[in-house]
Amino acid sequence: MIESLGEFWAALLDRTPEAFWQVMGGVLVLLLLASSIAAVLKWRKPGATVDNLVARINAWWVMVAVLCACFVLGRVATLVLFGLASFMALREFVTLTPTRRGDHLVLCLCFYLAIPLQYFLIGIDWYGLFVMCIPVYGFLLLPAVSALAGDTEDFLARNTKIQWGLMLTVYCISYAPALLLLDIPGYENGNLLLLLYLLLVVQLSDVLQYVFGKLFGKHKLAPSVSPSKTVEGLVGGGLAAAGVGAALWWITPFTPLQSGLMALLIVICGFLGGLALSAVKRSLHAKDWGQMIEGHGGMLDRLDSVTFAAPIFFHVVRYVFA
């Protein structure tokens, strides 16, 4: 049994690109450094701010471990992971946006039909139906089912909220694992690294914009929407993240210049996604989408940048490189 288990893990490691482990090694070093700094800060200057920082770093350890495990286990595990993420993100969205009894059947269709169907279509490489299932058939079916319930109170507003929530949390987020189905000449079996590239640039951009904003931020970008976002944070953090993306060109099908430009595109789209969803939260008088991830808020708080960045990145790569 031990030999079989060893052979199983050896096969898993063999089919995972070596570059993946090199990048994850770099991430591990960064997390160890961050944890060490946080431990020193907690010893020297204990307080609520430092406790929040420690909680965020601990959450990053868990998130990186889960992502790493899913990537090693393969395509199906990755699709299941993102499917669960979409489920939890949609749940957070629906929880903050008021619904009525007449919406219950529509919500059941969103959670138990739309999510598994969307990720199943990606799993079987059905691109033509994957890109239109929710924005065409879903948008026609859901209001029709809602109308059959006979509840016309705020009908337009209720259905618009549900449709937009489904679009953001399921359709847009599903474009991240959809990178696995791209056929890029000369980049066979490298799509896992392309997904890793997208997630690294998105998350690093968020972190670096926050750091640059705290250190150098003076000019607020949209104080009524997101008080923490500054011009200095966006420019400094965005350029730094684009630089990291350029340095990671060797795990992508891009040249160093193309990689930097693609990273810059991800940064801009991610920023706009975070800003738009912050506006939604403010309109609902909420600070976070949820409390699932300690120090980070909810699932949608971590994936708000991905909702805008993933679809744009997918289509640019597909039309230019695939």
Mean residue pLDDT of the chain comes to 84
> What is residue 9's predicted lDDT score, i.e. its pLDDT?
47
Q: Are residues 96 and 214 in the same domain?
A: no
Could you tell me which residue, 53 or 178, shows the higher pLDDT? 178
pLDDT number for residue 144:
94
Task: Give the distance, in angstroms, between the CA of residue 180 and the centroid of all CA atoms in the same chain.
Answer: 15
Least confident of 37-51, 183-197, 215-229, 249-263: 37-51
CA 125 to chain centre: 21
Please say whether the beta carbons of 301 and 288 come within 8 A. Answer: yes
Domain endpoint, select from 20, 55, 73 = 73
The last residue of a domain, from among 181, 196, 213: 181
Q: pTM of the full predicted structure?
A: 0.86
Domain C-terminal end among 20, 46, 73: 73
pLDDT at 79: 92
Q: Give the model confidence (pLDDT) of 151-196 as tens digits.
A: 888 899 899 999 999 999 999 999 999 998 888 888 877 788 898 8
**Mean pLDDT, residues 5-12 taken together:** 51
pLDDT at 263: 95
Looking at the fold, whether 201 and 249 belong to one and the same domain comes out as yes
With a cut of 70, say whether residue 3 has pLDDT above it: no
Token digits of residue 157:
């507003």
> Does residue 236 share a domain with residue 309?
yes
**Same domain for 316 and 205:** yes
- Of 184-188, 197-201, 287-291, least confident by mean pLDDT is 287-291
Residues 218 and 176 in one domain: no
Q: Are residues 90 and 64 in the same domain?
A: no
- Could you tell me if 109 and 147 lie in one domain? yes
Residue 3's Cβ-side half-sphere holds a number of Cα atoms within 13 Å equal to: 0
Q: In this structure, are 167 and 203 located in the same domain? A: no
Domain that holds residue 176: 81-181
Q: In this structure, are 212 and 282 located in the same domain? A: yes
Q: Could you tell me if 104 and 161 lie in one domain?
A: yes
Q: Is the pLDDT at 255 greater than 70, yes or no?
A: yes
**Residues 199, 303: one domain?**
yes
- Provide, rounded to the nearest whole percent, the portion of the chain with pLDDT above 70: 91
Least confident of 117-126, 180-189, 239-248, 305-314: 180-189
Residue 32, classified by CB atoms within 10 Å of its CB into exposed (0-12), middle (13-18) or buried (19+), is exposed
pLDDT band, very low/low/confident/very high, at 121 (cuts 50, 70, 90):
very high
Neighbour tally for 216: CB within 10 Å: 15
Do both 148 and 165 map to the same domain? Answer: yes
pLDDT number for residue 216: 81
- pLDDT score of 8: 46
Quote the number of domains for the chain: 3
